[in-house]
Structure 1
């Protein structure tokens, strides 16, 4: 895959726009754009995974209830 390609800029209403060629497409429908000097950098928005989401949660200080409360006793099982 090539790392660069010539593209044309055009107007879309009051915005300047460009079409992203197929070989540069991102998955999803959102991206982050930032400027560094004369360079525009476009990055896909990555949804955080379960572990990073859990790391951001505050710890639970409440004690967990007895999970066996209200359940019938287990029968003896012969193996």
Structure 2
């Protein structure tokens, strides 16, 4: 059986808000919410990939010096 608990809704600025009781706490700092009929479903957001994080970074504007680097010697395996 699913656990449930009666909670109060309140206003936070222009938004309606709810305090999530400790026993329903979600991991992380982000969540996803959607509506199914008169139900609101809230679930933990999946972890962001490194690629998604890197795509949001600003490009590096620095110029890097040329590096004289000889090719490695061949290795017999």
Give your verdict on TM over 0.5: yes
Report how many aligned residue pairs link the two structures: 57
Runs of at least 5 residues in structure 2 that lack an aligned partner in the other structure:
52-69
User: Separation in 2 of the partners of 1:11 and 1:73?
Assistant: 69
Residues 72 and 37 from structure 1, CA distance in 2 versus in 1: closer, same or farther, beyond 3 angstroms?
same
Scaled by the length of structure 1, what TM-score is found?
0.59
Runs of at least 5 residues in structure 1 that lack an aligned partner in the other structure:
54-68
User: Once superposed, what is the RMSD of the aligned Cα atoms?
Assistant: 2.6
1:33-44 pair list within 5 angstroms:
33-44=33-44
